[in-house]
Amino acid sequence: MESFLQDLSLVWNIVIFVLAGALVWGAGVRLSKYADKIIDKTGVSEVFIGTLGLAVITSLPEVATTVSATLVNNVSMAINNLFGSIALQVTVLAVADAFIKETSLSGSLENPVSRFQAICLSFLLSAAAIAILYEDVAIFHVGLWSIVLFCLYLALFYIINYFKRMKWWLTEPEERESIGKVKAIVSKRMEEIEEEEEEEADEGDKDEEDEEEEKKLSEVVMSKLGLFFLLSALGILVGGYFVANSADIIAERTGIGSNFMGYFFVGLTTSLPELSTTISAAKLKRYRMAFSNIFGTNLLNVGLVLLADLIYLEGPALDEVGSFAAAGAVLGILLTSLYQIGLTIKYKKTFFRLGFDSILVVIFYIIGATILFNMRQG
């Protein structure tokens, strides 16, 4: 396929790049709407859909880029693409913020699940930055750090979804008048949880309801809705593949440079699914799904390091990348922390249709991108 694109002129590669980007965008918009319908029909958690479902699907362009780059032994580009897109994808939330009227995106959420996701993402990115800067140890040809990062990703995914099911943090403002009262509320709710677990152990009516819900989910998967969801995911994968390969040719023939093209243009186009699904989720007032989509995708991006490492046979993949990827991870931590602040304060007033945290994210992204560009050039 790459040789086929190489035989085409620069103009045709630009056309393919634009059309592939449009395919990624359109498929991402449809994907968000299908996910919303699946939530309505099955009652599946928005946080689950965002953290795992949409995160996996909208990361398909990154998967295609990572695999194709690694197969040609350009593992450095593959890893840098993963970490370089993290900060950009957090900035996507600021774009989605502009589509919400009369309130900020972070000010629209009342529960702490999205904030907890942001904390987990900052933790994983911190571990990734350390892994990049510290010499890796090979197990066969796979780096130990890659395995550790993937295991941390799985653990954090489980913890996030477990935290979502916990009930002790669902206290009303009037219930937080004193520490003693909160403790009493927590104790009472923990007892209720234990009672619920005992009832589940008795295999009563609840088990039948659970089987009924699973049956509903399987019916949706096998329906036209499930087929359209799959086709949208396939569209993202195909579009992302052509975006990555045509961009490489454009960079070579125009003299822009693969570093600049890969970080900014390919990073932008492979982030189009996140942009489209996050904006669509915000318009549909699925604010938790919007945050979960971005934070879940970025968590998965770190986990995808193992995929590149498995394909790359010449040693640990993280040993092939320099300080740029670590700096990209640190910038991701910085921008994610700004939304942690916004989700904690819940300041609803907007300026130029953006929340204060989104404005800071845009400013710091521009500064960080400039620094990263200079580092990459060096």
Q: What is the pLDDT of residues 13-53, one digit of tens each?
A: 889 888 887 887 777 667 767 766 766 666 555 555 555 55
Q: Tell me what the pLDDT averaged over the chain comes to.
A: 76
Task: Please tell me the predicted confidence (pLDDT) of residue 191.
Answer: 64
Q: Tens digit of pLDDT for each residue in 175-185?
A: 444 445 555 55
pLDDT band at 214 (very low <50, low <70, confident <90, very high): very low
pLDDT digits (tens, 9 = 90+) for 249-307: 887 788 766 656 666 776 677 677 777 778 877 887 788 878 888 888 889 889 989 99
Record: fold of 4-170+222-375: A middle domain of Talin 1 (1.20.1420)
Euclidean distance between CA atoms 194 and 299, whole angstroms: 32
Separation of alpha carbons 285 and 100, rounded Å? 8
Q: Which residues pair with 355 in a beta bridge?
A: 350
The 3-state secondary structure of the chain, one letter per residue: CHHHHHCCCHHHHHHHHHHHHHHHHHHHHHHHHHHHHHHHHHCCCHHHHHHHHHHHHHCHHHHHHHHHHHHCCCHHHHHHHHHHHHHHHHHHHHHHHCCCCCCCCHHHCCCCHHHHHHHHHHHHHHHHHHHHHCCCCEECCEEHHHHHHHHHHHHHHHHHHHHHHCCCCCCCHHHHCCHHHHHHHHHHHHHHHHHHHHHHHCCCHHHHHHHHHHHHHHHHHCCHHHHHHHHHHHHHHHHHHHHHHHHHHHHHHHCCCHHHHHHHHHHHHHCHHHHHHHHHHHHCCCHHHHHHHHHHHHHHHHHCHHHHHHHCCCCCHHHHCCHHHHHHHHHHHHHHHHHHHHHHHCCCCEECCEEHHHHHHHHHHHHHHHHHHHHHHC
Distance (Å, whole) CA 100 – CA 116: 23
- Tell me what the mean pLDDT of segment 301-316 comes to: 89
Task: Reply yes or no on whether the pLDDT at 325 is more than 60.
Answer: yes
Give me the pLDDT at residue 114, please.
Answer: 85
Residues linked to residue 351 through DSSP beta bridges, in sequence order:
354
Confidence bin at 235 (pLDDT 50/70/90): confident
The 10s digit of each residue's pLDDT in 124-183 is 999 999 998 888 888 888 999 999 999 999 999 889 878 877 655 554 444 444 445 555
Return the bridge partners of 138, or none: 143
Give the residue-averaged pLDDT of 338-365. Answer: 88
Band of the pLDDT at 329, cuts 50, 70, 90? confident
Question: What pLDDT shows up at residue 364?
Answer: 95
